[in-house]
Each structure stands twice: as structure tokens, then as C-alpha cells.
Structure 1
């Protein structure tokens, strides 16, 4: 627009837009946020808004669209969900009092990872901003990765050293599932990581320049946030990459959030070894927090275990499921706490009742800190404080060590309750601008202004009576006009009695009009009462927010403790409702489960009985269970349920079994099912082999491995060879606990050749061509594959089934080394498929009307048929 004449307001717009070229600019004009030019074209398309034009001093009108400022959040949320960033440009002064052009400035930039508005956030999920700083060093790659949720103030960081850095970083992203990721340029070389982000996440990726990671810049950011002694308080390794990652994250927050970054008070450093390793594939296969197909909560482990009462508890439960522990001591502290709550039925109910009245104080506090909290939200914080003593009391009464520690950490916040109760009315307005938020008696001036507003005329009448008495002028009266405002009118006959304090303002034929300082002060109060009252309420409310913000650490500590109590109570409630038992968790090499059940499937099939199964695995003689049996019989369910039971035990939950012992596993790896990864140009077999390679590279002796149908994506002999080699490698080189399902019956002979291999199969009951799945795991290999029978169950045409049987017998008859006793001549096969039925039986069947038969008649008819067949 250089050299072209534009209106002053549009000139101001262009100057601000120049600083934010990559964001959609919400430019406040009166009661609307307006968008112009390209931003208007984009917003009108994405938000389905009417596109108009605005005269701005040029021949052509500027494309324009707008949204009401009081409901802007829903529009911003939709743009954020579509991958845009939005810069909010606010009027920095009151247009009514501004001289000339109203000052405007950016108050914040909203991006997917910096949202704090509750209307834009899922209550049961954290919203993480991630920062990765990675570089190639001698011996591989080194990286610092951190995650921060500014809506709750949580921050986590860890250091990684790995030759295959892409996979290691993907594992960390899976733990936290950030909505926005900051990366340094070197990360672009990790193609597997960038492909994963692009294909499997909705995260917005922001490439930061190398200058953001310079030592001086990083130290400046960390000092600003945590003080000069940041290295000691944050616990970052001196030569690590975490400071660069976190410094860049803070720099981004300072750029986009003009205030509120003080919400992040500390960083929790975690080591990869603190948590069970779960790859992206494993998380998806086990359906921990979302189903594979619908990507919904129902049908997941999270859905089964979520009996929480608070939003904070819901987020923490998700976090615990995503990050199972590997420290036996900490796991058992959780289990003991769950046991105490499990046994205390009345106490647990009372604890859950108190928790049900606790609001999301983590996110409320953030909004208070930002100054964007409403009176109703602050009152919700006060209401929560009323319930905290009850939460504290019930947690302490249950008796377990962890519950006592958490009860100790719950601060009743009685001072905050007192402040909120004294300052705010019982039912405050939704918005401060509506007025009426401050309680009567909290501030004398507020009370006086309200009195004036509601009883101004009464005050004037009282003043008039007082002046008549003081002056002795019986007909003195107080009046009002738009020119002079309020005045005192005295008739001519009493002018001599007017005190010296009266100032003459106007002479009339009938008398004189006067003003006094007292009347002028009252006039100012009456005329400006409403405006002054709103300003004063705003000031008092801001002071209340500042007072609460000063207690941030106490509130955060309490919120964290309350969230943990909520999750532990949820585990206890789920255990009671679903008939779970307390597992024994130790550092042994055993996974021993009696009558284990799949926690999700048994809930999905409430109307039918789930068949439980036993499992014995260790790192010795029972390290590899080879499981055979037909498709649909339950092999995958059985293997997944064992993985889920181990995982549940290690998050501190009771488990669906009659008895259970879990030796802590450091990782769960799964290879279940496969599909073409067409986007990456990989076939089913390639995907399968890539996943197996990942397992063989990363599994340790303490891992649990689930392998389903290895090698079926290629020719039979290739697949069988690969499957056998994988079994041998795991048993001989890794030695971890493994469940291996296969259709290659030839592999069942490996129990004689390889130490640690045991054969199991899913029991099937067969009657002629009909089969029934018993869902029971029994020792030994399956005696048949039952593939054709399963095809029949699936509804393949009879002709296809008969032909399949015929071809099968031919193949079995001609296979090298086939067992002669198992072979049938083709006439026998034909007779088997087409048994001759006496015509007498056929005639009887045609004649009978089945619908009119009584049960007894049906029984007699069946007996007649049987006699005829004989």
C-alpha cells in the first residue's frame, strides 16, 4: 500500500499486520473483531462468513468480514483446529475518551499449543506445546525435548541419546501428544519423525531459526523465567540440549503471549527409564486412549477406568495410562492407596462426593493469572476451597501412606476462600461489565455509589430538608437542568437569609439559584455513579485476581494432589464395579495371571460371559508361548489382555483376574495386524517387517512382546522361515517374555529345539463341519487350522466351501511326506460333502409344517427321521 492514500485506521492496521504476516489478525473495531484483505478472504472461506467491503481511502473497497467480540472464541477455535494462528489486536483505550485514533495493540497470539480458553480445550486432555532441539553428534544423535501446558502450568523435559533418534522422539511425542511442535532446522533430517508428525498427528509444526537456540538467547530466556540460578532450580544437565529446547519454547511463549507465562513455575525432568516404553504402534494396538478405527474414547482402557469426578483427574488418568511406571516401590504405593480406598466403601463414596464439587482449579488459576477469568469462575474457585477440607479429611482417613502424603499436600486455601467470599456475591454475573459482582459491605465506596444510584432522589430530598432547617428558608428547593446540573432555588423574599457558602449561579424574576460544594459533589456522584461503580468493581476484581495469583504455587500443589486422589479413587471404584483384584508387583521375571480377562471386551460384551484364561510367562522355561488356533477364536484378544493386565498393574490399578503377579516390564512391544502404508509407499509386508525390526532392536530381557501372524504378508515358505528365525532370535538373544500367535503349524515343533518355547492353542469343539470356539487356552498345539470352517461361519457360499474342501484334500494327498492315514480318496470326499439322504426322509421333511409343531411333536418327528435313516 506504499505511496497510496489510506485512512488513518487502515494505516494503523497495516503497521500491526506487518508484524504478524503469518497470523490471521482479529482487529478490534467497536463491538467486532474485523479482518481485512487476505485475512478476510481466508476467514470468510473457513468460517463461512459473509464477505463485505470497507472504504479505506482508496478506489477499491477492502475485502472485510467480522465476528462479534463477545463470541470470538468459537471462531478462533475453528481457525486453530484448521491449523491457523490468530493474532488478537485489542483497543487499548476507551473510544469514548480517546483523542483522535484509538490506540490498538496485539494482546496475544493464539496458536494450537497456547490456548487457555476453556471453550477451546477438551476438559479431559492436556494441551501441550512441544519443543525439540536435536543435532547429530559423534556416535549418533542427541536431543532435548520438552512439553509445556500453559493452561495448567505443567512442564516436562528429558534428554535423549540415540542412533535412531527419530523413533526415540516419536515415543516421547506419543506420551504427551502435543498440539504444536517447535523444531530446530536439523530436525528436518529425521525423515521418519517428520513423516510420523505429518501422517499420524494433527500437530502444527513451527520451524524456529538457529538464532533462537544461541547460548546467550537461551540463558536470557531461562533467567527471565526462573531467575539467575535457573540451572540449579531446573536441574538441567550442564552439557545437555534440554536448555536449548526449553529456552526456545519460552522465547516462543514470550512472542505470542504478552503475559501469563509466569504460570510455568518449574520443570519436571524425567528419564526415559522412569516409564514403560510404549511405541506408537503399541499404543494404537492396545487402544489405550482412543480406538484404532473411530478414534473415540469408548472401547478403550481409558473408558473402562475413568470413574473420575474432576477435569484435573481426567487429565491425570490419561497421563498415567500413557506413562506406566517401572519403579516397583512407587507402583506399590499406588496399589496400597487403591486397596485402602477399595476397602473403605463409605469413605470412598464421601471422597468422590466431595471431589464432584471441585472445579478445574488448574485452568481457572491460569485464567485468573491472565486476567481473563470471569466473576463466576473466581466464585467457582471459592466454592472448590469450601470442599477441600472434606477431601483432605477423607483421604487421610483411608490410611495408606500415599493417601496421607496427598492429604498433607492438599492446602484448604482458607485465606482464598475468605477473600472470595467477602469480595463476591453468592451468584455473580457471567461478565464483569454487567456489574453487581462485588458483595455489599466489602467496599464503602461501592456501597455508597450503589445507594446513590438506587436512591439518589432520596439523598437529594434529605439534603433539601437539612438545608431548610439550617437556613430557616421554608420554601428552599433543589432542582436540576441540563445547563447547570443540580441547583438550590430560593425565592426573592428569602434571599437575605442565604448563607455565604451558597454561590449564586443564576438570577430569575422570582428568585435566585445557587450551588454549594456539597451539592456539586453529590451531583458528580449521582451523574457518574454508574460509570464510577463499574470502574471501581473492575479495580477491586483485578486486585482480587492479583491476590489469588500470588498464591499460585499453593493452588498448583493442591490441584495436583486432588487430581491424584481422584485417579486413585477412580481405580478403586472401577475395581469394585468390575471385580478386579490387587496384583502383586515385584522385580521378578514372572507374568503369572489366573483367570485373566480383557478389561475392555468384557465391558463391551456385558450381556454375555467372558471366558477367562490363565497365563504363565517368565524369562526361563516359559519365555515364549506359541499360540495356534483358528482365526476368530480369540488369539489376539488373549494376547492383548495379558499386555493390558501388565500395563494396568504398572499404572497402579487393580486388574481383571482372579490372581495376578507381575514382574515389572520395561516395555511392551506389539505387532498385531498390518495394513499398507501407501502414503509412505510401503506394502503390508514391509510395514510388518519394519515393526518387527524395531522390536528386535529395542526389546530387552525385561520387555513383553506380542507378535501376531509374523510373515503372512509373503510366500508361505518365506514367511515360515522368517517367523522361525524371529522366534529363535528372541529366545536366544533377547530372552524376553513373548506371546507368539501363528498359523504356521510347523513352528509348533520348536518346543523340542529351542529352550523356553511352549505350545498353547485355543480350544475348539467340532461337530462334522460345524465348529464352536470355546475361547479357552489349553496346552499343546492346535490339531487343525479350521480355516474353511471359519470361512463357512463368515457366510461364504456353499459351493465355495465344498470346492475348498475338495482342493484341500487334493493338496494334502499330494504334499511331500503327507501322512497316508490322513488321506481320503476323492469319492470319499465327494460322499462327505454330498451325503446321500433316503428319499423317505426328504419326503417327510417336505411335508412337515415346522411352524405349527409343538415341542413334543418336534421331538417325536426327530425320532422318526432318525429311525428312517437307520
Structure 2
């Protein structure tokens, strides 16, 4: 198809009002695919239409002409928005949503439209773009070349996580590979070479923000306080990591540009200093195959794949974070171990916990959808079902001895009021759409119940009229139908045309039928449709009011989600220890590393039972500081090296280890180059 490829300027003469409106919105959102609402469709024009047709496979057509040339057009129904945006973002494009912001029936002239949201790779929340078992990070970087440091802030808009820190420039690449963000924000200026290399290696969307969007540290700190908040460690000033504060403020500013929000739905900014976790650089992460196979695209097993039997999406995401950041403090490791030991000792309790976890939805992301005003009725029902289990869970945890369980009880909170609100207001099985009715429970609103009764009685009247007209006219196949253009109509086949009464007024001729109206039908139509429209509008308003009330509790709900995730991972550790006969390691501050009968967890998982040959290791800071391992190719040298590293890592995340006995003096860094 030959189509016009040059998009006119919105200031050019001779444009229709609609096209001028479209072109103005597009000019303000260059670099984004503009989805422009026209009635029941999202339309694209010119180069965006060509792109949309290519990415989604829909037909490219034309719409009239502008300045004598046909305008390329491609569109999708309103109901296809999520699927369409997901495809565009997955293909590497940013999408601007230009919606109608006034009722077309009330519009004087052209309907007012505005860009209400811009969706990028790092801000997308549609389920089609999300891996429920993985975080989806937007990362902001503010480097200081003179100091050799960089502020780095990560945000997951689907869960509210908002964490900052500072690194030496040469550590940035490893941290970015660990995070694997979907999008990175950097200042639009010359960057240190280490930043350029680290970002380029990700091969993800990069947004270069102008210099004036990166506020000085004091102004940035004030912006954060006005938005999501800022929570420095006890005794520290909010500006103790100024580069991170600048990066965080720029990230909030970016979110405000895209979604017209101020980041208030995010958690307050917290800080990671990095000293509390074992350092795993990118080479070690890859060579040890902790989270991903050594070769991109390979399907081999990883430590994560062996360990992950978590029952909730929150638990799966937390397990990944724990594996990438083992602890350095023996007392923190011991707290996790005590909880795991309790779950191993009481398998009945572990079984009841597993049943509860199986019933949990993705509480963290559901809460964020509520906070962001995106949740529909089914989301609220799922949230209520998950939160309703917490009182009994807390009762069980109070009877347990481990201190970690006591700390989790506080985070699990009390959501009785929120569960009651949802169950009183929302239907048991609501539709996904919140604008077509059926979301609110009968009895919640007297006014809504009244409007629904009027609508139902009106539709019953239509059915009775159809039966009466069949009897009056003798046309047995006469039917009453409805469409948005003509409203209600009586349809008669051409073969029965001679039986049509004189009071029927013809409205439409079809190939095999005629459509008519009567004064009585038109009068009742306005009553029925008026009640139905009022009911839908009221129901939408009631739902939004309930959702906004729940949004106040979302920060507490996300804390509860974190506690649920922790319980899930601890239960996973316990199940794995029982299933695979792993043992509790001793983790302390000594320089000893002693493992008796150790086994490689990933290699063993791929072999028949008892076929892996166990081996020992004994190292300390006195007489056994180095082991020299020799042997022919394929003798198992690399397996042995990896095994020792993996068992240290497992011990320092609080897991049991595959061995007969193990003592691990905490390790602060793992270096590995195998092969």
C-alpha cells in the first residue's frame, strides 16, 4: 500500500480539527507511539500506524486524506489496550495513551483529549509484560566522575520497592547485571566510561534525562519528602548518600512525567550501604550459575532452579534477591536458620503454612495496582482472599519460638477492616471491566439496587412486548433487538413484510429483513437505557471510592507481602532440607571452612539418587590456606570449586547445605573463574 509518510506539523493550514488535535498530542510526545482514542477504538496515524501494524499484525488502512494525501491508519478496540501496549513495549517502544477526558455527549465541538499516561519498559504494569517470579526494575544513575562513585536507585513500580545506594564506578557493571533492569535513567551528558560500558552491556531501554531534571541534593531530598518519602538509617542524615538522593529524585520526576503521579504510591526511599552482604560480581554469578545458565539462552539447571519451590510470586522474587546477596552477619543467618529448623521439626505446621501460601495471590503487586488506581474487581477479591488468611497465620506464629517469626507477626498487620470492606462491597465473581456493571455486590447501595431493578424490569418489559407483538401481528419470528446506533428495534424478515402493522415506523433495511420502531418502544427505551447508564456510572463511582479507601492501607499491605515472602522462602528451605537430606551448617566469624561429605547441589539434582560422590574440604587461616587441585580434563576440578562456593553461599543465606557436616566462617567475597 502506498501511503503518506510525511506527518504534517500541527500548525500547518488546512488540517481538520481532529487531525490538528492528534498532531499536537503527537508533537508533545515524540519518541512514543501515540494511541489516540476515537470512540471505541485506539487509533494510530502516519508512521505510528505503520509501526503498530507491523508489531501487532493488524491491517494497515487509510482514513480520508489530509492535504490531498491518504492518511495511514491502524487501530485496535478499547478492550485490546493491554495486549497492544504489551506487544509494543516488548518490541522496545514507548507508548503514550491519549484518552477522551470528557463525555462525547457533553462535548461542544471536538471531544477533548489528553495524554493521560506514557508507558515505558521500566514502568509497564500490564501482566502480559511481567514475569510474576521476577522483579522488573527501573534504575536511575547519577555518577560523580571526580569522586569515582555513582548513585544508583532501583524501583519496581509493580511492588513499590524503592531502594538507593552508592557504589564505586568499577562496581556498577556487576550491580546492574545482578539487577537486570528493564530500563535505565542517566543524565543527558557525557558519562564516565565505566557507566557507558555498564549500561551498554545491559541492552535495555535507556532514557537520557536533561540536566535540569537532576536536582541538587538538597532540592532532591525535599522533592522526595514531598513525594514517596525518605527513610535513612537510624542516626543518619537523609543526605548521607547524596548521589543516591539525586538519582532517586530524578526517578520520581520521570514517573511524574509519565503517569502524572508524584511517586506517592512508592515505598519511602530506603538505602543499601552494601557492607551487610557478600559481594558476588557478575563473573561469579555467571560462572557459578546461581540465577542464570552460564551461556545466554541455555536451558541448563541453576542453583535457583534447584531451590525454587516457593509457592507465591513474592517468595520467588525474594529468593532471587537472597541468592544474589548472601548475609555477612552470623546472627542474621542464625535467625533464618532457627525459623527453618522450626519448620523442619514440625512438619504439621509446615504443611498448614504451605496450604495458606498456596492460597495467596501476588499481594505485593495487587496492593500496588490498588495504590496506582489500576485494580479491578477481581483484583480486590483476590486481595481479600489473601489477607483473610493472615489472622490465623499470626495466631500460629505466636506459638512458635524463633525470634524471626515474632518480627514477621508485626509486619503481617491487621487487615480485618479492609477484608470486610471488600467483601461487603464487591461481588463474589466480578467481571474484569469496572465500567460495564456487575462489580458491586447487591445490597451495598440502595440507589444502585433501585437502578438495577429499573433496568431489569425494563428488559423484562421488552421480552413481554416481543411476545405480545408476535401474537398481535402473527409474525412468529419477530424479534426485538438493540444496537448503539438505532437503539431498540423490531426486526421482521422480508417474507413477513406484508404483516407489518401501520403503526410500525421503518428505520433500517437489511438484505433479508426490515427494522422498525414504535412510539411505545422508543418511549420505554429512554427509560431503560437511562436507568442502565445511571447504574453503570454509579457503580463505577462506588468502586473507585472503595478502591481509594483501600489505597490508604497499601503501604501496610506491601509490608505484609514482604513478611509472606519471607515465610515462603523459609518454608522452601525447610522443604528442600527434608527432601534432599541437607544439614544445618554452623556459620560463625572464624576463618574456618570445613565441609564433610559435601555435594554439588545442582549436579546432584541431575543425577540418580546417591550417584554423586561426596567430598570434603578443610581450609583455615593457619596451616590450611590453599588447596592445590590437579587432575585430567573432566575429572571434576571445576565441579569441586563451584561446589565449595555454592555451599558457602547457601549457608550465608540461611539455607541448609548438601553435606554431612559443615562449618562456614563468613566469607565477604567470592571470586571464581572456571575454565
Match in the other structure for 1:174: 177
- C-alpha separation between the residues in 1 aligned to 2:307 and 2:230? 44
Structure number with larger C-alpha Rg:
1
Moved more, 101-110 or 414-423: 101-110
**What's the CA shift for 1:4?**
3.4
Moved more, 112-121 or 352-361: 112-121
**What's the CA shift for 1:29?**
1.6
Match in the other structure for 2:342: 340
- 1:189 is aligned, of 186, 189, 192, to 192
Match in the other structure for 1:251: 253
Match in the other structure for 2:162: 155
Moved more, 433-442 or 352-361: 433-442
**What's the CA shift for 1:652?**
0.9
Match in the other structure for 1:146: 153
Matches within 5 A, 1:618-767: 618-673=620-675
**What's the CA shift for 1:526?**
5.0
**What's the CA shift for 1:193?**
3.8
User: Secondary structure of the equivalent of 2:15?
Assistant: coil
**What's the CA shift for 1:187?**
6.3
Match in the other structure for 1:106: 115
Q: Deviations over 1:755-774 (max 9, x none)?
A: xxxxxxxxxxxxxxxxxxxx
Indicate the structure whose relative CO is greater, using CA pairs within 8 Å and at least 6 residues apart: 2
- For the 8 Å contact 2:139–2:183, the answer to whether it is kept is yes
Could you say if the C-alpha distance between residues 120 and 421 of structure 1 is closer, same or farther in structure 2, counting changes exceeding 3 Å? same
1:361 to 2:363 alignment: yes
Match in the other structure for 2:574: 572
- For the 8 Å contact 1:155–1:268, the answer to whether it is kept is yes
Match in the other structure for 2:472: none
Unaligned runs of 5+ in 2: 1-7, 463-523
**What's the CA shift for 1:235?**
5.0
- 2:131 is aligned, of 122, 139, 154, to 122
- For the 8 Å contact 2:156–2:162, the answer to whether it is kept is yes
4+ runs deviating over 6 angstroms? 227-234, 457-460, 522-525
- 2:19 is aligned, of 10, 15, 23, to 10
- C-alpha separation between the residues in 1 aligned to 2:389 and 2:574? 21
Match in the other structure for 1:76: 85
User: Secondary structure of the equivalent of 1:93?
Assistant: coil
User: Secondary structure of the equivalent of 1:308?
Assistant: coil
Match in the other structure for 2:447: 445
- 2:377 is aligned, of 375, 378, 394, to 375
User: Secondary structure of the equivalent of 1:554?
Assistant: helix
Match in the other structure for 1:591: 593
Could you say if the C-alpha distance between residues 570 and 239 of structure 1 is closer, same or farther in structure 2, counting changes exceeding 3 Å? closer
- For the 8 Å contact 2:255–2:262, the answer to whether it is kept is no
Match in the other structure for 1:55: 64
- For the 8 Å contact 1:33–1:69, the answer to whether it is kept is yes
Could you say if the C-alpha distance between residues 51 and 324 of structure 1 is closer, same or farther in structure 2, counting changes exceeding 3 Å? same
Could you say if the C-alpha distance between residues 276 and 227 of structure 1 is closer, same or farther in structure 2, counting changes exceeding 3 Å? closer
Could you say if the C-alpha distance between residues 270 and 230 of structure 1 is closer, same or farther in structure 2, counting changes exceeding 3 Å? closer
- For the 8 Å contact 1:351–1:390, the answer to whether it is kept is no
- For the 8 Å contact 2:215–2:249, the answer to whether it is kept is no
**What's the CA shift for 1:370?**
2.2
- C-alpha separation between the residues in 1 aligned to 2:91 and 2:29? 18
**What's the CA shift for 1:209?**
2.0
**What's the CA shift for 1:542?**
0.4
**What's the CA shift for 1:43?**
2.5
Could you say if the C-alpha distance between residues 420 and 618 of structure 1 is closer, same or farther in structure 2, counting changes exceeding 3 Å? same
- 2:278 is aligned, of 256, 276, 279, to 276
Could you say if the C-alpha distance between residues 240 and 567 of structure 1 is closer, same or farther in structure 2, counting changes exceeding 3 Å? same
**What's the CA shift for 1:278?**
0.8
Q: Deviations over 1:555-603 (max 9, x none)?
A: 1111111111111111111111111111100011111111111111111
- 1:329 is aligned, of 325, 331, 335, to 331
Instruction: Flag the structure with higher helix content.
Output: 1
Could you say if the C-alpha distance between residues 638 and 128 of structure 1 is closer, same or farther in structure 2, counting changes exceeding 3 Å? same
Match in the other structure for 1:34: 43
**What's the CA shift for 1:458?**
9.5
- For the 8 Å contact 2:228–2:269, the answer to whether it is kept is no
**What's the CA shift for 1:56?**
4.3
- 2:76 is aligned, of 67, 70, 75, to 67
- C-alpha separation between the residues in 2 aligned to 1:233 and 1:621? 42
Match in the other structure for 1:616: 618
**What's the CA shift for 1:623?**
1.4
User: Secondary structure of the equivalent of 2:409?
Assistant: helix
- For the 8 Å contact 1:355–1:387, the answer to whether it is kept is no
User: Secondary structure of the equivalent of 1:90?
Assistant: strand
User: Secondary structure of the equivalent of 2:388?
Assistant: helix
- For the 8 Å contact 1:344–1:398, the answer to whether it is kept is no
- C-alpha separation between the residues in 1 aligned to 2:231 and 2:613? 59
- C-alpha separation between the residues in 2 aligned to 1:571 and 1:278? 21
Q: Deviations over 1:833-858 (max 9, x none)?
A: xxxxxxxxxxxxxxxxxxxxxxxxxx
Match in the other structure for 1:209: 210
Q: Deviations over 1:801-826 (max 9, x none)?
A: xxxxxxxxxxxxxxxxxxxxxxxxxx
- For the 8 Å contact 1:226–1:233, the answer to whether it is kept is no
- C-alpha separation between the residues in 2 aligned to 1:335 and 1:229? 28
Match in the other structure for 2:29: 20
Unaligned runs of 5+ in 1: 461-521, 674-870
- 1:43 is aligned, of 21, 43, 52, to 52
Matches within 5 A, 1:81-96: 81-96=90-105
Please give the TM-score of this superposition, normalised by the length of structure 1: 0.67
- For the 8 Å contact 1:133–1:184, the answer to whether it is kept is yes
Could you say if the C-alpha distance between residues 394 and 302 of structure 1 is closer, same or farther in structure 2, counting changes exceeding 3 Å? farther
How many residues are matched? Answer: 605
User: Secondary structure of the equivalent of 1:28?
Assistant: strand
Output the aligned Cα RMSD: 2.5
Could you say if the C-alpha distance between residues 203 and 544 of structure 1 is closer, same or farther in structure 2, counting changes exceeding 3 Å? same
Could you say if the C-alpha distance between residues 284 and 227 of structure 1 is closer, same or farther in structure 2, counting changes exceeding 3 Å? closer
- C-alpha separation between the residues in 1 aligned to 2:528 and 2:612? 76
Q: Deviations over 1:359-397 (max 9, x none)?
A: 111111121122221111111111112211233233333
**What's the CA shift for 1:92?**
1.2
- For the 8 Å contact 1:583–1:659, the answer to whether it is kept is yes
Could you say if the C-alpha distance between residues 226 and 48 of structure 1 is closer, same or farther in structure 2, counting changes exceeding 3 Å? closer
**What's the CA shift for 1:263?**
1.5
- For the 8 Å contact 2:86–2:126, the answer to whether it is kept is no
